[in-house]
Amino acid sequence: MVLPMRKIIHIDMDCFYAAVEMRDNPALRGIPIAVGGTRDRRGVICTSNYEARKYGVRSAMPTAHALQLCPQLTLLPVNISKYKAVALQIREIFYAYTEKVEPLSLDEAYLDVTDCQQYQGSATQIAQAIRDQIFAQQQLTASAGVAPNKFLAKVASDWNKPNGQYVIKPQQIADFILQLPVNKIPGVGKVTAKKMQELGIHLCADLQQLSIEQLAEQFGVFGQKLHDYCRGIDQREVEPQRERKSVSVEETFPTDLTNLTHCADRIADLFNQLVQRLKPYSEKIIKNQFVKVKFNNFAQTTAECIAADLKLNVFQQLCQTAYLRYQLPVRLLGLGVHFRDEDNEIKVDNEQLALNI
């Protein structure tokens, strides 16, 4: 059997919720902080920064316990709508490289960049570029794993965390997998890991000693998958989020645009990019169109209108409306569209949020 050779990137933000809070309030940097529910309401920790992790403060730990471990811990409330807004902007960066983006949570996603043309198709360079762009736009660090499949890409993104990336090439898999602890295998939770321990199986190398029959006997239908995983084989495809709510393109300029004519030139370029980006969505109906303008004082405004057809002059008009609100030099211009059928999509998002909290 010939396996498809894919290039998968797994991106995982570092200390995501805590990092957003530290970014927005410099006083929180360098001291132990955590985001989560309060002790008196029997809350739990969602995440903590590295200073707090030194004390053993971890995700899913009761806040009361975290405060015992680290009494000086600064606890911040969960501002999920803020993290979600950041997550959606980061996702837009991914979509500039591929449509095959599978978000796992607000801070994590798989990308299949097998067919991506940028950087001569080098997944390593694409991962680096994505991380650089996340940092430039959001002042947040991300880690990435690059590998021929989802399983190994996810393992790899933890390898050089924080703010690093690790690449597993096809010819490195056989060696890499031998030393990997079995609890890194997808689907091996606490119960299965314990059972493996009792059987003296700790590493993928140990698991490789068992035949398919023996694996099936011990682990049922999961046995077949384990046989693949412990050899670094994973055929799961990246499953793109079925519904896109919007598509947008934007550009931050090296030097500010000082008048509306300059803006109009850039709008024409961005419009062409937007048309390209919209090609895979030809079956979708556009509900409204918008232009976002960020000025040199960082004020940001969006002008939008209801229109289904894509026309350059509509975006020029929107740009003018937005520009005239401040009339300052322009740092960034963004163009985009929202698709119809949002009710359905908001529901999906809420379900995903519920899973994340």
Among 21, 92, 107, 250, binds Mg ion (CB under 5 A): 107
Among 9, 15, 142, 215, binds ligand TTP (CB under 6 A): 15
Taking the CB of residue 217, how many other CB atoms lie within 10 A of it? Answer: 11
Between the alpha carbon of residue 223 and those of residues 196, 198, 217, 299, the distances in Å are: 12, 17, 8, 56
Q: Which has the closest alpha carbon to 82: 148, 164, 16?
A: 16
Catalytic residue list:
108
Binding site partner of 296, from Mg ion, ligand TTP, none, Cβ cut-off 5-8 A by kind: none
Binding mask 9-28 for Mg ion (x = CB under 5 A): ---xx--x------------
β-pair partners for 112: 8
Nearer to ligand TTP, 3 or 357 (CB): 357
Which residues in the 244-303 window bind ligand TTP by CB under 6 A?
Answer: none
Nearer to Mg ion, 59 or 218 (CB): 59
Minimum Å gap between C-beta 163 and ligand TTP is: 9
Between the alpha carbon of residue 273 and those of residues 240, 251, 276, 312, 339, the distances in Å are: 21, 11, 5, 12, 17
Q: Which amino acid is located at 188 in the chain?
A: V
Half-sphere exposure (Cβ direction) of 208: Cα atoms closer than 13 Å: 15
| Beta-sheet strand order (sheet of 286-295) | 246-257, 330-339, 286-295, 300-306
Taking the CB of residue 328, how many other CB atoms lie within 10 A of it? Answer: 15
Binding site partner of 105, from Mg ion, ligand TTP, none, Cβ cut-off 5-8 A by kind: ligand TTP
Question: What gap in Å lies between CA 153 and CA 120, rounded to an integer?
Answer: 20
Nearer to ligand TTP, 6 or 161 (CB): 161
Nearer to Mg ion, 102 or 107 (CB): 107
Which residues in the 139-158 window bind ligand TTP by CB under 6 A?
Answer: none
Question: What gap in Å lies between CA 326 and CA 312, rounded to an integer?
Answer: 22
Minimum Å gap between C-beta 16 and ligand TTP is: 3
Among 21, 92, 102, 107, binds ligand TTP (CB under 6 A): 107
Number of H helices, E strands in the chain: 14, 12
Determine, following the binding rule CB under 5 A, whether residue 34 of this chain makes contact with Mg ion.
Answer: no
Binding site partner of 207, from ligand TTP, Mg ion, none, Cβ cut-off 5-8 A by kind: none
Nearer to ligand TTP, 12 or 99 (CB): 12
Minimum Å gap between C-beta 150 and Mg ion is: 16
Q: Which helix (H) or strand (E) holds 334?
A: strand 330-339
Binding site partner of 17, from ligand TTP, Mg ion, none, Cβ cut-off 5-8 A by kind: ligand TTP
Question: What gap in Å lies between CA 163 and CA 246, rounded to an integer?
Answer: 29
Determine, following the binding rule CB under 6 A, whether residue 46 of this chain makes contact with ligand TTP.
Answer: yes
Is the CB of residue 272 less than 8 Å from the CB of residue 254?
A: no
Which residues in the 161-200 window bind ligand TTP by CB under 6 A?
Answer: 161-162
Nearer to Mg ion, 90 or 263 (CB): 90
Q: Where does this chain bind Mg ion (CB under 5 A)?
A: 12-13, 16, 107
- Rule CB under 6 A: which residues touch ligand TTP? 12-17, 46-47, 59-60, 105, 107-108, 161-162, 356-357
